[in-house]
Amino acid sequence: MTWLLVALGGAAGSAIGALLMRRPTGTRLLLATASVCGLMGMLSAQLVSPKVTAVLGYGVLGSATSMVAFALASPAWVGGDAPVRSTAGITKRLAVYCVVGVTFALLGYLAVRGGATLYKKLS
């Protein structure tokens, strides 16, 4: 049953990712990466049922992340020094996306955990 929920969430996440990535620009890709990773961080801090985690975490957010990674694909190589330039460009771009992803996943996690701690302290 869990695999079916992951598959349904994956189909929904692929549709969402395809809609977001219709015309991929650098800004749109960074915003999509930040929002998906932030939601993943928020979901990891919550104690929700395994069925909800299967649909949202592994299904929707997992496939939306793969759509963003697919949009990062570089154009074909042309020329003799193009592999070196492409490799350097992809490495820089991947480093930026990793930093953005980790930062927003941490911010999402801390937002939920900090809010829960503040709620417990105030009540």
Query: What is the extent of the structural domain holding 8?
Result: 2-122
Ordered DSSP codes for 56-115: IIIIIIHHHHHHHHHHTPPPPP-SSSHHHHHHHHHHHHHHHHHHHHHHHHHHHHHHHHHH
Read off the pTM: 0.73
* pLDDT tens digit at each of 123 positions of the chain: 777 888 888 888 777 777 777 777 778 778 888 888 888 888 888 877 777 777 777 777 777 666 566 555 555 666 667 777 777 877 888 788 888 888 998 999 999 999 989 999 998
Pairwise CA distance, residues 38 & 106, whole Å = 7
Q: Domain count for the chain, please give it.
A: 1
